[in-house]
Amino acid sequence: MSMLRIATLGAMVAAASLQGQTVVQGAGATFPYPLYSKWMSEYQKVQPSVNVNYQSIGSGGGIKQILEGTVDFGATDAPMTAQERAKAKSPIFHLPVTLGSVVVSYNVPGVSASLKLTPEVLSGIFMGQITKWNDARLTGINPGVSLPATPITVAYRSDGSGTTAVFTEYLAKVSVDWKSKVGVGKSVKFPVGLGGKGNEGVTGLVKTTPGAIGYLELAYAKQNKLPVASIRNKAGKFITPSPEATTSAATGNEIPADLCMSITDSNGAKDYPIASYSYILVYENAKDPVKGKAVADYLWWAIHDGQKFAAALDYAPLPKDVLPKVEAKLKSLKANGQILITRK
Amino acid sequence: MTLKQDTNSPSVGAPESWVSRLWRSLQSLRSSLSLRKGSVVNPADRAFLWVTGILAGMVILVLGAITLQMIRTSMLSIRQFGWHFLVSKDWDPVLDAYGALPYIYGTVVSSLLALALAVPIALGIAIYLAELAPNWVRRPLGFLVELLAAIPSVIYGLWGIFVLAPWLRETVQPFLAKTLGFLPFFQGTPRGLGLMAGVLILAIMILPTIASVSRDVLEAVPSTLREGALALGATRWEMVRKAVLPSASSGILGAVILGLGRALGETMAVTMVIGNRAEISLSLFDPSYSLASVIANEYAEASGDLYLAALTELGLILFGVTVVLNIVARLLIWRVGKVPAGAGRA
């Protein structure tokens, strides 16, 4: 039976390659785009007959397009909501493929040392309760750093973004105040501060405004050589953000059946607390067997060989305990009731 | 054969007959066009009338289709919030509570203030270029003004973030706070980015549009008006104010409305400097937000039907604000123009 399947699939793939290239269309999250873009060009070298095309139109757009069936795969930072899942005509899988962290950057005149922040102080600043850099709560956890009396200017993302979703999810976990007064989402009503459009907008705000503090993706802070704060995790250690600390945060958690999991404020001693998975969205049953097979193969490559490109771009590779679960999901992808990936 | 005849005929006779023939055909075309619709006889003219009529009608059709579609898409939000949407200050996607007032305020205030700053300067530029400047200045300066209009808005935005905002924060705003700080418009922390930066960016962006269109309008004023005014003993200033400006006023209004349209709809540059905060504050130092910016910022990642409907309704409101401000501007000029025109216009 399985021989027959392989034979039919082989025939399909052969037919596709006879027709020329298989073009696979994806759309969604902007946050993992640099990595996806690298994957596309690398995969082209491995599998020249498959052309993967990805448009970074935002997670919301990715979810809309996969629901409408206009793309072969979608991508999102925050898992689909129950309301969105209810709109799907057939089951959609969330496949975690990479990890990213959100860092806190600042511009404090005269301070070059890396600042330390506790969850309480961070939420206090973003709630507008701590308004000056020389506040006792800040100087208390940063002994030896002389902080000026500059007023704090909070910088947030004005556009809806997965980065905001991760950051607010973390703040809601560590602060009851934040949870009840602001909440979690891609766009929230920030109590104080100025909004910048995109990572580059927040980068611009932080760079040009003395006294500014904002949240960014790790890669942006590194490229722009902005200082990043180390954050105290649940175990009480101050952790500087890095791909390793992010993978560590994702390791050793309970893994739910749909693979959608929050890794903010995790338990490990080496965990950086503000991090998240980025997901690829695919239908369990592909409409087009040729494209379905191409997507499944591409994703299989991405979670194995593709992982080595992550760290250089400041994304974190998938942890070892999560990988088998993603493999199992990929192996259950079907087209016309037939399994697409049959390898061991 | 004919060619030969032409060259043989007297050199003055040929062009004269050409010109007069052309003139006659133009005259007949003119008279047939100026007939009332019902009496158009020429089938080609009738076709021309219909083709151009349909083209003009398409504008109305497209406008109507856009409005209908926007109303349909925002129905959910219109039903949920009703008129309250226009006066509510709350915009909270987490709680699915939406109100447009801070965005309406930010859009209207930033555009009108920008207009108030830009119109006098633009008119000055236009008058100088059209009436006063020597020829060798007129061309290059006019070209530079038009070049300013061609700069993409993202460039203005970047300049706003990296040059204008720091200058406002370090120099202008502390000075204003010190000298005029008793006014509610100049209070609060000087952050650079905010309503003031938005107003200034918009003023700079609409300046070239208003200036270059106004200059074209002024240049189209017949020179007999100028000569008449000067002959009556008017100074140059009186000539411009009493003879040229009144007869160009409707064209200048058109230029101002073009500028207003650009200010209302400007998205990228505004969102980069205005601070993007849905707040209503009298102070120009404080951040603000505009309708176009919030749509551009939040639409891509918006999920949830009510959220999307509310964002579309903001678009509908922007449309409404544009129409209302255009009507107000027309009424204003119409009323102002009526009083002194008696002497100047005739």
Alpha helices, DSSP H only, in B94-222? 101-127, 135-149, 153-159, 165-167, 173-180, 195-219
Neighbours of B74 (CB within 10 A): 21
Report yes or no: A272 and A233 within 8 Å, Cβ to Cβ.
yes
Does pLDDT of A117 surpass 70? yes
Phi-psi region of B60 (alpha: psi -120 to 50; beta: other; left: phi over 0): alpha
Q: What is the pLDDT of residue A96?
A: 95
Does pLDDT of A20 surpass 80? no
Does pLDDT of B92 surpass 70? yes
Q: What is the pLDDT of residue A238?
A: 95
Secondary structure letter of residue A103 according to DSSP: E
Report yes or no: A38 and A17 within 8 Å, Cβ to Cβ.
no
Report yes or no: A212 and A155 within 8 Å, Cβ to Cβ.
yes
Q: What is the pLDDT of residue A19?
A: 57
Q: Is residue B28 very low, low, confident or very high in pLDDT (cuts 50, 70, 90)?
A: low
Does pLDDT of B10 surpass 50? no
Distance from CA of B304 to the nearest CA of A (A): 8
Strand partners, A286: A335
For residue A161, the chain B residues in CB contact (below 8 A) are 301
- Would you call B275 and A204 a contact, using CB atoms and an 8 Å cutoff? no
Which of A61, A67, A65, A59 is closest to A83 using CA atoms?
A67
Secondary structure letter of residue B115 according to DSSP: H
| pLDDT tens-place string over residues B269-318 | 999 999 999 989 999 999 999 999 999 999 888 878 899 999 999 999 99
- Would you call B301 and A197 a contact, using CB atoms and an 8 Å cutoff? no
The answer, for B290 touching chain A at a CB cutoff of 8 Å, is no
Does pLDDT of A106 surpass 50? yes
- Would you call B193 and A205 a contact, using CB atoms and an 8 Å cutoff? yes
Percent of chain B at pLDDT exceeding 70: 85
Q: What is the pLDDT of residue A58?
A: 82
What value does the CA radius of gyration of chain A take, rounded to a whole number of Å?
A: 22
| pLDDT tens-place string over residues A210-268 | 999 999 999 888 888 999 999 999 999 999 999 999 999 999 888 899 999 999 999 99
CA distance B75 to B56: 29
- Whether the ipTM is more than 0.85: the answer is no
Nearest beta carbon to residue A188 from set B94, B192, B276:
B94
User: Where along chain A do its domains lie?
Assistant: 3-100+278-339, 101-250
Q: What is the pLDDT of residue B340?
A: 46
Query: Where in A222-322 does DSSP place strands (E)?
Result: 230-232, 238-239, 275-283, 285-286
Does pLDDT of A11 surpass 60? no
Does pLDDT of B345 surpass 70? no
User: Where along chain B do its domains lie?
Assistant: 103-345
Report yes or no: A213 and A106 within 8 Å, Cβ to Cβ.
yes
Higher-pLDDT residue of B122, A343: B122
Q: What is the pLDDT of residue A162?
A: 86
Secondary structure letter of residue A228 according to DSSP: B
For residue B279, the chain A residues in CB contact (below 8 A) are none
Percent of chain B at pLDDT exceeding 90: 55
Pick the CATH number of A101-250 from 1.10.150.120, 3.30.1130.10, 3.40.190.10, 3.90.930.12: 3.40.190.10
Does pLDDT of B176 surpass 50? yes
Higher-pLDDT residue of B344, A215: A215
Report yes or no: B274 and B289 within 8 Å, Cβ to Cβ.
yes
Percent of chain A at pLDDT exceeding 90: 67
CA distance A25 to A20: 16
What is the arithmetic mean of pLDDT over B4-16?
44
SS3 A151: strand
| pLDDT tens-place string over residues A262-315 | 999 999 999 999 999 999 999 999 888 899 999 999 999 999 999 999 999 999
Neighbours of B203 (CB within 10 A): 23
CA distance B300 to B332: 39
What is the arithmetic mean of pLDDT over A59-72?
90
Output the CATH code of domain A3-100+278-339: 3.40.190.10
Q: What is the pLDDT of residue B327?
A: 87
The pTM for the full model equals 0.81
Q: What is the pLDDT of residue B191?
A: 87
For residue A84, the chain B residues in CB contact (below 8 A) are 303
For residue A187, the chain B residues in CB contact (below 8 A) are 93, 297-298, 301-302
Report yes or no: A249 and A255 within 8 Å, Cβ to Cβ.
no
Secondary structure letter of residue A114 according to DSSP: P
**Homologous superfamily of B103-345:** MetI-like (1.10.3720.10)
Nearest beta carbon to residue B272 from set A59, A193, A201:
A201
Report yes or no: B119 and B211 within 8 Å, Cβ to Cβ.
no
Does pLDDT of B155 surpass 80? yes
CA distance B312 to B306: 10
Pairing of strands B97-98, B91-92: antiparallel
